[in-house]
Amino acid sequence: MKNLVTQFMLVLVFIAGSIGMVKAQTGDLFFSEYIEGNSNNKAIEIYNPTANTILLADYQIAQSSNGGGWQYYHTFPAGAAIAPGDVWTILNSSTNPALFDALNADEVLSFPSVVHHNGDDARGLIKISGTDTLWLDIFGTPDFDPGTGWAVAGVANATANKTLVRKASVTAGNTDWTLSAGTDANDSEWIVLDVDVFTYLGSHPHVIDNSFPIVFNVNMNYQITAGNFDPLTETVDVAGSFNSWAGTAMTDTDGDGIYSAEIAGFNAGDTAFFKFRINSDWGNAEFPGGDNRQFVVESGMTEVSYWYDDNAGPQSVTFTIVDATESYLNIKMKGSYDGWVLHQMYDDGTNGDLVAGDHTWTCILEIQGGTWEWGAIEDDSTLGELWLLQGPNLVFSVNTDGTVSGDTSYEIPTQGNETIVFNVNMNQQIALGNFDPALHYVDVAGSFNNYSTSGAFEDLDGDGIYTKSIDGFTAGNTIEYKFRLNGDWNTSEFPGMGNRMYTVIGGGADVILHWYNDELPPAQPDLFFSEYIEGGSNNKAMEIYNPTNDTILLDSYQIAQSTNGSGWQYYHTFPAGAAIAPGDVWTILNSSTNPALFDAANADEFLSYPSVVHHNGDDARGLIKISGTDTLWLDIIGTPDVDPGTGWDVAGVSAATANKTLVRKASVTIGNTDWAASAGTDENNSEWIVLDIDVFDYLGSHPHIIELLEPSCLPCKYELSG
């Protein structure tokens, strides 16, 4: 009988939830305190705001765990009641007795119970009257798992490791958790206290001043140096939302140029808006005409510090170059902070250099705020300006608070013992007439050779791929480079654009191969997917089309498989001797496909589980061709490292790779490894026609001209023409 009653209650709860929850009216019970502390220090308190004693026989607490919806219901002991203005306290039996005496609780519950909750477990207070269920109050969201906990009053994860006390101004429950939790300390119905605060448990209401002071600091030193502020005759204050924009005077008691003011009344979750002002004058405030400063108050925050106008002025920045080669005689630096003007660096014990002759070169410059690039050269008059960095320019920032971050030092590495084999494919340049092997040569210039020539590359086997082995690299170093025609920067790759970059691996693994200027010849026709079926149950198939004029043997082809976004894991190989004639297809059928849909005798492969045609809508497939050690991707359906859920959208149809048939348009003559482009966003730009579930009419041949008579809906009627 108990099970029947429980099932009936679940039906009532579902009906109540489906028609919407209404905020409880005044004059009934509501949650007044919630504690989720360390370990099992947990409690819930219910308050009776009425003038009458309320029996709890008709009340229950609904429970949800980890976003699983309302699953369990706590009923109260027989005869339980709450007197007017009193509370009902439920305590976890393992709560530290030093925090709360269990004798003062109305219920002390062992596991499992309504007070064995975590921060992501919702609770709801309901009242049952006959066949009606009234929701009085809700804490959390029953069908959503927030992770650690929900934010309350602007405090992140406040339902975990915190005590929440309902404000004295709240007189009724609230079934809208978003409104109840609020966004800050002002609009929330709750006061957020620290972990394991049991001080207020056992009675309600309470007037709690949970506010704390914050010290505001503003550094005026640059304003003093720039003549914008005279500490002898002028004042500075802070005006903001916390003092009605009236301004609070700031003082510099120790004469260090940093002015401070302590302001009380902040609560965790508050958002403070403010500006600093000189002489309490809005015409002389920070950021004239600009936005106010702001920050969100965090629990335990004690002070905030700024430079006036976020301007710390120029800062002394020490740059160092460590010459691990111990070979350079005159190092200079330059950067974007002053238009790449050369500055002398020192290794003589002066100008900030600590030890003379230790091959650590130093330069100290005054740099304005901002983010800048820099580098260094050797300028000994014999080599000219030799750029010393291997890899990109160094980047550093002078921040608004006067600190310096980023890279202000660099070590010139010793020459390594790693070799890089550079290869560049010139076949497309030959085809375009840009490169004549009989007259021209190709080289590489980069950070490793001061962007000078490496010497001509060679093509010993005449395959159009030119090669050069270069020594002296160090594993882990990053290099920049470009290939050039005839050693001429005017005919280098990517004119006016950035360099190629490469990080040295070491151990003989450094072999680089590029097409010159990344220009590849037009793709040649090859096999591609022409049909994909993911239907009811195991009604599944795939079809591959040969668009060429030649019979293609399948011994060099495979179908790569990914399951649930886990990347390419499995590879389907074709039977020995398998081949596709010109204009013909290869059909692979799931062995459990309904024979009324397609005759297995007409399939080229008929596969039982597991196989490449035991796919779901979120399983990607890729067609590859293997030539020696090279793998060429010809076509892809789906994204191998992303699980879309049910399936991927195709031609604007949601989850079209599940419970649908996809037929490649007749206008498509080559595969596409860009699935987003292949799938498209609507029926016009997609490469596929989306048909209804279990449509096998087109399987076994290709191409087809399919006219959708009702393109705006699925299922659609369709006809074959031509």
Candidates 479, 516, 514; CA nearest to 494 is 516
Determine the pLDDT at residue 663: 98
User: What average pLDDT does this structure show over 383-409?
Assistant: 87
Q: How far is the CA of 617 from the CAs of 565, 654, 658, in angstroms?
A: 11, 11, 4
Instruction: Check residue 76 and report its DSSP letter.
Output: P
Average predicted confidence (pLDDT) for the chain: 91
Q: Cα 142 from chain centroid?
A: 26
pLDDT tens for 23-41 read 445 589 999 999 999 999 9
Q: What is the pTM of this model?
A: 0.47
pLDDT tens for 567-586 read 999 999 999 999 999 999 99
Q: What share of the chain is helix, strand, coil (3-state, %, to 5)?
A: 10, 35, 55
Backbone angles phi and psi of 470, in degrees to 5: -125, 130
Determine the pLDDT at residue 451: 85
Q: Using CA of residue 547, residue 550, residue 554, residue 560, what is the dihedral sign?
A: negative
pLDDT class of 384 with cuts at 50, 70, 90? low
Strand segments, DSSP code E, in 384-526 are: 386-387, 394-398, 404-406, 409-412, 418-425, 442-446, 465-473, 478-485, 500-503, 511-515
Determine the pLDDT at residue 391: 79
Q: When comparing pLDDT for 694 and 391, which is higher?
A: 694
Determine the pLDDT at residue 630: 81
pLDDT tens for 473-488 read 989 888 999 999 999 9
Determine the pLDDT at residue 382: 55
pLDDT class of 10 with cuts at 50, 70, 90? very low
Asked whether the predicted pLDDT for residue 52 surpasses 80, the reply is yes
pLDDT class of 381 with cuts at 50, 70, 90? low
β-pair type (540-545, 552-553): unpaired
Candidates 673, 656, 671; CA nearest to 716 is 656
For the ranges 25-29, 155-159, 611-615, the lowest mean pLDDT is seen at 25-29
> Quick one: tokens of 64?
């949800």
Residues 6+ apart with CB under 8 A from 524: none
Which residue type is seen at 719?
E
d(CA 604, CA 546): 14
- Give the rounded percent of residues in the chain with a pLDDT score beyond 90: 81
Determine the pLDDT at residue 402: 87
Determine the pLDDT at residue 719: 39
Determine the pLDDT at residue 416: 85
Strands across the sheet with 360-367, in order? 360-367, 315-323, 409-412
Determine the pLDDT at residue 710: 46
pLDDT class of 548 with cuts at 50, 70, 90? very high
Asked whether the predicted pLDDT for residue 599 surpasses 90, the reply is yes
Asked whether the predicted pLDDT for residue 6 surpasses 50, the reply is no
Asked whether the predicted pLDDT for residue 722 surpasses 90, the reply is no
Determine the pLDDT at residue 713: 43
Candidates 135, 137, 120, 200; CA nearest to 165 is 200
Strand segments, DSSP code E, in 258-391 are: 258-266, 271-278, 293-296, 303-307, 315-323, 331-335, 343-344, 360-367, 370-378, 386-387
User: What average pLDDT does this structure show over 674-689?
Assistant: 96
Q: Cα 429 from chain centroid?
A: 40
Candidates 476, 474, 501, 479; CA nearest to 418 is 474
d(CA 216, CA 239): 11
pLDDT tens for 618-677 read 999 999 999 887 888 999 999 999 999 999 999 999 999 999 999 999 999 999 999 999
Kind plus residue range of the DSSP H or E element containing 4: helix 2-18
Determine the pLDDT at residue 484: 96
User: CA torsion, points 472, 476, 480, 483, in degrees to nearest 10?
Assistant: 60
At residue 130's C-alpha, the angle toward residues 128 and 136, to 5°, is 25
Residues 6+ apart with CB under 8 A from 103: none
Backbone angles phi and psi of 10, in degrees to 5: -60, -40
Which residue type is seen at 231?
P
d(CA 576, CA 509): 34
> Quick one: tokens of 182?
């609020």
Q: Using CA of residue 424, residue 429, residue 434, residue 439, what is the dihedral sign?
A: positive
Q: Using CA of residue 485, residue 491, residue 495, residue 498, what is the dihedral sign?
A: positive
Backbone angles phi and psi of 529, in degrees to 5: -70, 125
Beta carbons within 10 angstroms of residue 103's beta carbon: 7
Determine the pLDDT at residue 15: 34
- The separation between the first and the last C-alpha atoms of the chain, rounded to the nearest angstrom, is 68
User: What average pLDDT does this structure show over 179-194?
Assistant: 93
Beta carbons within 10 angstroms of residue 144's beta carbon: 14
Which residue type is seen at 134?
L
pLDDT tens for 80-104 read 999 999 999 999 999 999 999 999 9
Candidates 280, 231, 223; CA nearest to 251 is 231
pLDDT tens for 313-358 read 899 999 999 999 898 899 999 999 999 999 999 999 999 999 999 9
Candidates 96, 97, 149, 157; CA nearest to 122 is 149
Determine the pLDDT at residue 259: 98
Backbone angles phi and psi of 469, in degrees to 5: -95, 130
Determine the pLDDT at residue 26: 57
Asked whether the predicted pLDDT for residue 12 surpasses 90, the reply is no
Asked whether the predicted pLDDT for residue 560 surpasses 60, the reply is yes
pLDDT class of 2 with cuts at 50, 70, 90? very low
pLDDT class of 721 with cuts at 50, 70, 90? very low
Residues comprising the chain, all counted: 722
Determine the pLDDT at residue 448: 86
